[in-house]
Amino acid sequence: MILSYLDEPAAALDAAVRALEKGGLVVLPTDTVYGIAADAFSPTAVGRLLAAKGRGRQMPPPVLVANPGMVNALAVDVSHDARALLQAFWPGALTIILRSQPSLAWDLGETSGTVALRMPDNEGALALLQRYGPLAVTSANVTGQPAAQDAQAAEAYFGANVAVYVDAGPTPGPTASTIVDATGPVMRIVRAGVLTRARLAEVVPALAEEGAEPGAGDDSGGDAEPGSDDSPGAEGA
């Protein structure tokens, strides 16, 4: 069912939380495109998310968080440069791949010990994340199709496979978040997006020295540049 966050925010959030608690899927707005979400700590729910998208475990979803402090709980070995990017661009259209906290009891797919994290700059998304906690979220589309920019487009993709659609009107899309891999000795951009290389390099100058910037694509499931990279989060919202 589609519920308006703009008209009845409490009712929309309550329904979304109930659905997530039962292992269901929820579509929510972000500051880029709409995303499809599941409880990040429920392997069954994450499996439903991947099945709804039509993708396998080799493309694990990113995790959205409500505040920068969650990074310390979910990731380890976070470099000074990575923290500088978070300080500059969170909340916002930056997804950053970090080493996952090994003690966490979750199964997002074949992550190779990493996790892609993002704090979106969207009131409805942040309200849900604050209520529920970290969510596994990827763009609201069937793999290979354009990401939904409104709740109605998302419903056309997923129908009854999603329990609740939180409708907050059109999102700014179609360009998705920029993904930076901070797990290696040298940071690299693995998907271009809203944040340009030039803006990132203002904070971390080394990012200006990388090779040609990857194409932004349409966040439609990684059939373009993102799909050529096995990094987790390459299809995030």
Query: Is the residue at 38 inside a domain?
Result: yes
Query: Is the residue at 205 inside a domain?
Result: yes
Q: Could you give the residue ranges of the DSSP H alpha helices within the chain?
A: 9-21, 43-53, 70-74, 80-89, 123-132, 151-158, 197-203
Range of the domain at 95: 2-228
pLDDT exceeds 50 at position 231: no
Domain count, the chain: 1
Say which range, 13-22, 152-161, 214-223, has the weakest mean pLDDT. Answer: 214-223
Quote the pLDDT of residue 6.
95
Quote the pLDDT of residue 223.
27
Query: Is the residue at 236 inside a domain?
Result: no
Query: Is the residue at 166 inside a domain?
Result: yes
Query: Is the residue at 233 inside a domain?
Result: no
Residues contacting 16, CB < 8 A, separation 6+ = 3, 26, 28, 128, 132, 164, 166
Token output for 129: 């994340």
Helix (H, G, I), strand (E, B) or coil at 3: strand
Query: Is the residue at 175 inside a domain?
Result: yes
Query: Is the residue at 135 inside a domain?
Result: yes
DSSP 106: -
Quote the pLDDT of residue 158.
98
DSSP 149: S
CA distances from 126 to 91, 112, 135, 233 (A): 9, 28, 11, 19
Q: pLDDT tens across 75-127, in order? A: 999 999 999 999 999 999 999 999 999 988 788 877 788 999 999 999 999 99
Q: Is the Cα dihedral 37, 67, 220, 109 positive or negative?
A: negative
DSSP letters for 168-218: -S--S-SS--EEEE-SSSS-EEEE--SS-HHHHHHH-GGGGGSSSPPP-TT
The CATH code of the domain that includes 205 is: 3.90.870.10
Query: Is the residue at 237 inside a domain?
Result: no
Mean pLDDT of 195-210: 92
pTM check: above 0.85: yes
